[in-house]
Amino acid sequence: VPLTNSTGSEENDVLFAERYLETFYGFVMDGVPVTKMKVSPNLMKNKLQEMQQFLGLKVTGRLDASTLDMMHMPRCGVPDVHEFR
Amino acid sequence: TLAGRPVWRKRFLTYRINSYTPDMKPADVDYAIQKAFQVWSDVTPLKFRKIHSGEADIMIGFASGAHGDFNPFDGRGGIIAHAFGPGPGIGGDTHFDEAETWTANYRGTNLFLVAVHELGHSLGLGHSSDPKAIMFPTYSYVDPNTFRLSSDDVRGIQSLYGGPERRQPPSHPDSTESATCNPILSLDAATTVGNKIIFFKDRYFGWRNPESPKSNISLISSFWPNLPSGIQAAYEIGDRNQVFFFKDDKYWVISNLRPQRLYPKNVRSLGFPNFVEKIDAAVFNPLLYKTYFFVGSQYWRYDERRQLMDPGYPKFITKAFPGIGPKIDAVYYNNRHYYFFQGSVVSEYDVLSHRVTKRLKHDIKLGC
């Protein structure tokens, strides 16, 4: 169990989640009016919900521990919900 | 299935392994990939052939980082493999991330399991949201010996290609020249499974009801992918729903039709001496709760309750089973009788009166 959650690791988690959602759920950062670390909350929430629903997780729309755990599991590089390139 | 439902328009596909991982012996890589293809060919009409040069439909390789397909790998963990759906060129190709540690067992990342998943993509399957499916996108280890496709996987692939081809009945059913309907001159093994009689020959097994001459044939690998071809002996303990299969010095157990973990085991663990290299036939007697193992002209008796070989064995078959032997191919028990197969002859043997009660030519055929 982590002793503390530093701000730095939370930032890393969000960055990691963004990359994950971009790769596998067609989450497009381009065009989203953001400064880094301030992604449009609704868009990110929608994509998290999409991912949680697909993978049978509790659909919270939040980057909770079980969602992060799932994102960190070794997996196939084919997008789950994406036009196949 | 993948967006647009791409599929292969032909049933005979080629594959080529154009690079190997240093983590495993090339022969183990070849075997894992071949078994992964077999998982899919067993449930579809598709057939796969390995080629060693030129462009195959499905090119398979190991690569690190950026490797020329605009989908770079990301180092250890994370993405471990990917594949392209059916199509020309890169279509169907399958890549494994060399940064992973590839194995043939539970350590690291099991190549067979990942290959089954990736080849599912190569054939046109997308990701499944069923965690029991091999097409679920995250890796988790299951014993390759007991691995089976989930019903979701099978439904998915059969929605694209249909089920496996049934062997066509011969145009002249009476013709002994027909390659698809040959009487079996000698069986490899026989046993009951529930209310069915199961018999084995080469890569095939057949089953039928005791009262009916009509039999069905299937590939052993299509039902039990973990079992080898050429099963030499088999027996059932009905009240435990267990069936034992023997080949050479190894044996496997299925329980309630599911392969059991930790098999195959060596027959020495049953108490056989070192010189026993294979079992010709085996049969369980539920009245005694003992199993008879036939090896050459001799037999052993195993106490299934005590899990020990009975002392005083081996004995000669011809002395204990008048009219049977000296060697037998296969035997099963049904309704207080043993049915011994020797060549094309089957002998019905009464276990209480210890005598042959009927002897006739068996009529088991393949492909009918």
Tens of pLDDT, residue by residue over B158-198, are 999 998 875 544 333 333 333 345 566 688 999 999 888 99
Between CA A11 and CA A18, with CA A12 as vertex, the angle to 5 degrees is: 90
Say which range, B114-123, B172-181, B324-333, has the weakest mean pLDDT: B172-181
Q: CB under 8 Å to B306, separation ≥6 — which residues?
A: none
Contacts of A49 in chain B (CB under 8 A): none
CB pairs under 8 A between A and B: 68
A24 chain-B contacts, CB cut-off 8 A: 137
User: Which string of b and e fits B81-114 if b means at least 16 CB within 10 Å?
Assistant: bbbbbbbeeebbbbbbbbbbebbbeeeebbbbbb
User: Which residues of B are known to be catalytic?
Assistant: 118
Please check whether residue A22 touches B, CB under 8 A: no
Average pLDDT over residues B32-42: 93
CB contact under 8 A, B78 and A74: yes
* Surface of B (51-70) touching A: CB under 8 A: 70
The residue among B44, B45, B37 whose CA lies nearest residue B111 is B37
Record the tokens describing residue B243, joined without a space: 């069936």
Contact criterion met (CB < 8 Å) for A24 and B137 = yes
pLDDT over 60 at B302, yes or no: yes
Local structure of B101: helix, strand or coil: coil
Q: Which residues contact A9 (CB under 8 A, 6 or more apart)?
A: A2
DSSP B272-317: --TT----SEEEEETTTTEEEEEETTEEEEEETTTTEEPTT--EEH
Token pair of A74 as six digits:
């070794």
Q: What is the predicted pLDDT for the residue at B176?
A: 31
What band does B202 get if pLDDT is binned at 50, 70 and 90? confident
Q: How confident is the model over B248-277, as a mean pLDDT?
A: 89
CA distance B67 to chain A (A): 14
Which residues, in sequence order, are bridge partners of residue B355? B350
Q: Which of B170-179, B283-292, B321-330 has the lowest mean pLDDT?
A: B170-179
CB B255 within 8 A of CB B240: yes
- What is the DSSP track for B157-203? HHHHH-SPPPPPPPSSTT-TT-TTSEEPSS-SEEEEETTEEEEEETT
> Is the ipTM reported for this complex over the cut 0.85?
no
pLDDT at B177: 33
Q: Which residues on B lie below 8 Å from A85 (Cβ)?
A: 70-71
Q: Determine the distance from the C-alpha atom of residue B316 to the mean position of all C-alpha atoms in its chain, rounded to a whole number.
A: 32
